[in-house]
Amino acid sequence: EIVLTQSPDTLSLSPGERATLSCRASQSVSSRYVAWYQQKPGQTPRLLIYGASSRATGIPDRFSGSGSGTDFTLTITRLEPEDFAVYYCQQYDSSPQTFGQGTKVEIK
Amino acid sequence: QLQLQGSGPGLVKPSETLSLTCTVSGGSINSNSYYWGWIRQPPGKGLEWIGTIHSNGNTYYNPSLKSRVTISVDTSKNQFSLRLSSVTAADTAVYYCARQDGIAVAGKGYWYSDLWGRGTLVTVSS
């Protein structure tokens, strides 16, 4: 099973700042099969990015994904108040598909 | 607009079987393009994929749960269901049903979840 390790666990930033979230895989993952989700407290996860860099329907262009091999990144260029949440990466290249433990983006 | 709604008991006794159903509305579960899956999240923890089904009945399970999981589909009711047997406290979680986009090749699936139903909290306790 591929283990995904996200860093940092918590990111404290102010609105308007840039957020960079990391996801490292225990073995190489095809970039076609990496996704990112956002989850707010008490809410359902929402798909942000699939295929490592493709934005899901309705996702603002301040969200972008990149990476290859074992290192993947989610970038939020300018944080809006509604972006403070927990973010999860997922690999679906190898069964079972697995998720990272999450990075919490909190208001500084 | 397609929506998913999970339903089922919120409390299950240890050693019994957890049963949940997901009803798809606003669209058909009979789609060659999509798969239908279950994902769970223990309180305060991360996400774990349980398994996935296609409307043709093909199923794909997480090996760690495979011996206890059955996922089925009822296309006439536009529903798919999860059964998890011999539950313990470790199975306490919010259970989500989701539409999954991707492909399956040679018995392996490559999906992300693009639409999620509101989760159902299932507590395992006597």
Give A26's strand partners.
Answer: none
- Residue B109's pLDDT band (boundaries 50, 70, 90)? confident
Does A67 contact B at CB distance below 8 Å?
no
Q: Tens digit of pLDDT for each residue in B39-72?
A: 999 999 999 999 999 999 999 999 999 999 999 9
- Give mean pLDDT, residues B67-85: 97
Q: Tens digit of pLDDT for each residue in B86-99?
A: 999 999 999 999 99
Extract the runs of DSSP E, i.e. beta strands, from chain B.
3-7, 11-12, 18-25, 34-41, 48-53, 59-61, 69-74, 79-84, 93-105, 108-116, 120-124
Query: Does the pLDDT of residue B85 top 90, yes or no?
Result: yes
Interface test with B, best of A89, A95, A99 (most B CBs within 10 A): A95
Strands A54-55 and A46-50: antiparallel
- Cα separations (Å) of A38 from A21, A68, A76? 12, 21, 12
Closest residue to B46, CB basis, from A57, A88, A97: A88
Q: Write down the pLDDT at residue B27.
A: 93
Report how far residue A11's alpha carbon sits from residue B58's, in angstroms, rounded to the nearest whole number. Answer: 41
Closest residue to B108, CB basis, from A95, A99, A101: A95
Output the average pLDDT for chain A.
96
Q: Tens digit of pLDDT for each residue in B22-31?
A: 999 999 999 8
Q: Write down the pLDDT at residue A89.
A: 98
For residue A36 the two structure tokens come to: 């990112």
Does B108 contact A at CB distance below 8 Å?
yes
- Asked if A23 contacts A67 with a C-beta cutoff of 8 angstroms, the reply is yes
